[in-house]
Structure 1
Amino acid sequence: MAATRPPNETQVSTNLPGLTHHITGHSPSGSAIIESTRPAHWKKILDNTFGFNVVYTTSEFPVSLNNNADIKTYDEVLAKGQLGLVNPNGTVARMVDFAPGSEPLMHRTQSLDYGVVIEGEVEMVLDDGVVTRMRRGDVAVQRSTNHGWRNTSETEWARMFLCCRSARR
């Protein structure tokens, strides 16, 4: 799919649109406002075969929204540059771009994950060899299982939205 917005400055995939994060809050009178609007910042992974963009993360759940404590914590976590796939006791929402023909990186996290295909087609690969093709709008619910994602295209990038919450086993 051709980009309808130019890619973000740090974006690896050039055929997918750039992203903007709009974070809401409340005015002193209590009405809804936009606290900030930020261009997405991408982290390049494994020789530029993946791009990670943290849309938002919290370090506790339920999260405290008082005095924008969550926004301050989000900024601090990103500034440290040490966020893993999950944020223990919190949540992580991220966009992930997959290069054409990239091989799945098998991994297991101690989390409940929701993965939504935004652009392209992605195969969900499980450790028992089962492969499920997912198309735009399809959702996978990963329950601490060993899995990987594979972009099915040989020419176009694919994008998923992933939201993770730490889990107990």
Structure 2
Amino acid sequence: MRRTRRIVTGENEAGRSYIVSDGPAPNYVLPAHSPTLAQVIWATGEGAAEGDDPAPAGHGFGFHSANGTILRVADFPPDEEYDYSRVENFLDEYGVRDTEKPRHFWFHKTPSLDYAICLEGEIYAMMDDGEVLMRAGDILIQRATNHSWSNRSGKLCRMAFVLIAEDEGSDA
């Protein structure tokens, strides 16, 4: 697992473009519920931090940002490295866990349109019925459906997610 390099552009007083910042994304967390490194690279809407940087170190994010977007990079270790009950407790906190006999411990449903991009490795995108193996370069359009991520490769998988809240005012 490694931090993502974040490069941010802007315009100076003369209207000329320049690089505002270039370095590791400041917002990252290795949560207690999971060995998944999660990094919010940028955010818009109600979940974004106030000030010049909408995703500074230490700013907490939910699954989505009401009336906006979140760009998140997540490193998924192999399934066997998880404490399943901790993941379920985390999903319960947000009220998104599938409690109807899910096929996998990560099954959840959020009211959002998510663009899921496999950057490195491989992972199974699981639905209630069926699944598909994603490899680097593959993109899944997740349309507010019940789903899960299963890494059966024995190696790390890096995913990028653009999360767009579907329900105005929803931050879950």
Q: TM-score, normalised by structure 1?
A: 0.74
Query: Percent identity among equivalent residues?
Result: 32
Structure 1 pair 46/79, CA: closer, same or farther in 2 (3 Å)? closer
Give the equivalent residue in structure 2 for 1:49: 35
Q: After TM superposition, list the pairs within 5 Å mapping 1:36-75 onto structure 2.
A: 36-40=21-25, 41-45=27-31, 47-59=33-45, 72=52, 74-75=54-55
Q: After TM superposition, list the pairs within 5 Å mapping 1:103-122 onto structure 2.
A: 105-122=106-123
Structure 1 pair 145/46, CA: closer, same or farther in 2 (3 Å)? farther
User: Is 1:25 matched with 2:10?
Assistant: yes
Q: In structure 1, what is the Cα distance between the partners aligned to 2:117 and 2:76?
A: 13
Give the equivalent residue in structure 1 for 2:68: 90
For structure 2, the residue ranges without an aligned partner over 5 or more in a row are 81-103
Q: TM-score, normalised by structure 2?
A: 0.73
Give the equivalent residue in structure 2 for 1:165: 164
Moved more, 24-33 or 41-50: 41-50
For structure 1, the residue ranges without an aligned partner over 5 or more in a row are 1-12, 61-68
Show CA shifts across 1:65-112 (max 9, x none): xxxx97636147x6442x111011110001010012356511111111
- Give, as a single letter, the amino acid of the residue that structure 2 aligns with 1:45: P
Q: CA deviation at 1:19?
A: 1.8
CA contact (8 A) 2:125 2:149 kept: yes
CA contact (8 A) 1:94 1:162 kept: yes
Show CA shifts across 1:132-161 (max 9, x none): 10111000000100111111312x111000
Give the equivalent residue in structure 2 for 1:9: none
Moved more, 136-145 or 42-51: 42-51
Q: In structure 1, what is the Cα distance between the partners aligned to 2:6 and 2:152?
A: 27
The alignment yields a C-alpha RMSD, in angstroms, of 2.5
User: Aligned residues, how many?
Assistant: 143
